[in-house]
Amino acid sequence: MKLKLILLLAIFVGMNAIYATAQSITIDECQEKAAANYPAIAQYDVIEQTKNYNIANANKAYLPQGSLNAQGTWQSDVTKIDLNVPGITISSIDKDQYKIFAEVNQLIWDGGKISAQKKSVEAGSEVEKQQLSSEIYKLRERVNNLFFGILLMDRQLTLQEVFEKELQRNYNNVETYIQNGVANQADLSAVKVEQLKVSQQRIHLESTRDAYMKMLSVLIGEPIDENATFITPDPESAFASPIINRPELKLFQAQENAIESQRSLLKAKNLPVLAAFGQGGFGKPALNMFDNEFSPYFIGGLRLSWNFGNLYTFNNDKKKIELQKRAVDSQRDTFLHNLNMQIPQQQIEITKFRKTMQDDDEIIQLQKLIREAAEVKVENGTMSVSDLVKEISAEEAAKRAKTLHEIQYLMSIYSLKYTTN
C-alpha cells in the first residue's frame, strides 16, 4: 500500500514538473508584464503623493497664520502738544521706541485662490500621469517586434529541421546512386556542402532567437525558458478598429485642463482678500502714545487687502494662456494628422500580405512537384545532383516565404492596433 502511494506521489510530482516546464507565452501577457515591470511605473505613486502633499499644503492656508515680530526705532521727531497751562506739564514721548508683538491672521475669503490652486495642482498631476502613460504605451511596439521576431525564428527553425531531413534523405539517395553508377563523389559533395550551409543557418537562427528572448525577458522582468512556446495570436481577434484611442489624446486633454486651471488661478489673484487678525504685545509706547513705559496692548479686527499690481499684466497673461491652449490644439491636430496618414498605409499592408499568402500554398505545391520530378530525373541519370539541390532549395525558399508573409501579416495587424489602440 505504501509503495502504491509513493508511486502515485511520484507520478503526480512528475506531471506537475512537466506542466510547470511547459511555459506558454502570449503577446498580451508580455505587454502587460512589460508595462508592470517598467521602472518608471513607480512614478505613478510619486506623482500621486506629491499631489496630495501640495493639496494638503494649500489647505493649510485656511488655518490661523501666526507671526512674532520685534522692532526698535529712533525717529527724528515725535508728537508734541504745545499747551501752556499754569501748573500743568505735558511731557513729550521719547524718540526711541520699541515694540514686540505676536499677530494671528485668519483667512475669511481669498477670492477663490486656494480652490484654484488645488485645481491647478490636480490638473498638473494628471498631465504628469498621462505623460507617463504615453511613455509606457510605447513599450508595446518594442514587445511586438521582439515577440514576432521570436515567432518567425521558431517557424524558420521548424522548417530548417524539415529541410535538414530532406537533404539527408537525398544524401542517402546519392550514396545509392553512386553504388549504381548514376552519380559520383562530386554529387555527394554538393549535397554535403548544402547541408553545411543549412547547419550554419540554424546557428544563426538559434542565436537570433536567443538574443530576442533575452531582450524580451528584460522587458517583462522574468526569465523565459528556452523551450517556452510562443502562442501565435489570432489575427481575427487582434484586428484593430480604425478609431483612434491613443493615450496621447488623454494627455492633450489633461494639458488643456491644466491651462484652464491657470486661467481660474489668474482671475482669483486679482480679487481682494478678507481676513480677521489679532495682535498683542508690549510696546514703548503701547496704544497710549504719551506713555513712555513698556506696557501690554491688544488690538483685533478685519483686514481687507487688494493687490492691484496683477492688473497691469492681466490681459497679457490671459493672451499667454490662450496661446498655450492653441499650441496644445496644434499638437493634437498634428498628432492625429500623422496617425490618419499611417492608418491607410497599414491597412494596405494588411491587405497586401493577405493576398500574398493566398498564392503561397500553390507556389509551395508547384515547387514540390518540380522537386519530385527532379529526383526522378536524377535517379534516371538525366539531371545533375547540383540541379536537384537547387530545386530542393527553391522549395525551401517558398516555404520560408510563406512563413515570413504570415508573420508580416500578423505584425501589420498589430502595428495598426498599436497606432489606433
Is residue 20 predicted with pLDDT exceeding 50? no
- The answer to which of 8-22, 122-136, 156-170, 305-319 has the lowest mean pLDDT is 8-22
Work out whether strand 96-109 and strand 229-230 pair parallel, antiparallel, or are unpaired.
unpaired
pLDDT for the residue 136: 93
As a whole number of angstroms, the distance between CA 209 and CA 56 comes to: 52
Half-sphere exposure at residue 397, Cβ-oriented, CA atoms within 13 angstroms: 8
As a whole number of angstroms, the distance between CA 344 and CA 342 comes to: 6
* Overall average pLDDT of the 264-290 stretch: 87
pLDDT for the residue 89: 64
- The answer to which of 69-83, 160-174, 254-268, 313-327 has the lowest mean pLDDT is 69-83
pLDDT for the residue 187: 85
Query: 341: pLDDT confidence band, cut at 50, 70 and 90?
Result: very high
pLDDT for the residue 310: 79
Query: 14: pLDDT confidence band, cut at 50, 70 and 90?
Result: very low
Residues paired with residue 279 on neighbouring β-strands, in sequence order: 103, 299
- The answer to which of 19-33, 225-239, 281-295, 375-389 has the lowest mean pLDDT is 19-33
Q: What percent of the chain shows pLDDT beyond 90? A: 52
Phi, psi of 100 (to 5 degrees): -135, 130
Q: What share of the chain is helix, strand, coil (3-state, %, to 5)?
A: 70, 15, 20
pLDDT for the residue 79: 75
pLDDT for the residue 176: 86
Q: How far is CA 305 from CA 111, 236, 308, 317, in A?
A: 11, 67, 10, 22
* Overall average pLDDT of the 227-253 stretch: 86
- 319 vs 94, residue with greater confidence: 319
8 A C-beta contact, residue 106 and residue 275: yes
Average pLDDT, rounded, for the chain: 87
Is residue 86 predicted with pLDDT exceeding 70? no
* Overall average pLDDT of the 23-38 stretch: 91
In 3D, which of 397, 350, 407 has the Cα closest to residue 155? 407
Is residue 35 predicted with pLDDT exceeding 50? yes
8 A C-beta contact, residue 106 and residue 237: no
The length of the chain is 421
Task: Set out the domains of the chain in order of their start, with CATH numbers.
Answer: 110-271+306-420 (1.20.1600.10)
Is residue 92 predicted with pLDDT exceeding 70? yes
8 A C-beta contact, residue 75 and residue 97: yes
Residues paired with residue 300 on neighbouring β-strands, in sequence order: 278
As a whole number of angstroms, the distance between CA 263 and CA 394 comes to: 69
- The answer to which of 74-88, 112-126, 354-368 has the lowest mean pLDDT is 74-88
- The answer to which of 246-255, 336-345, 382-391 has the lowest mean pLDDT is 382-391
- pLDDT digit string, tens, across residues 147-194: 999 999 999 999 999 989 988 988 898 888 888 887 888 888 888 998
**For helices 139-179 and 314-380, what crossing angle results, to 10°?**
10
- pLDDT digit string, tens, across residues 100-148: 989 999 999 988 889 999 999 999 999 999 999 999 999 999 999 999 9
pLDDT for the residue 243: 85
Phi, psi of 298 (to 5 degrees): -150, 135
Is residue 297 predicted with pLDDT exceeding 60? yes
- pLDDT digit string, tens, across residues 248-274: 999 999 999 999 998 888 888 888 999
Is residue 8 predicted with pLDDT exceeding 60? no
pLDDT for the residue 1: 44
pLDDT for the residue 342: 93
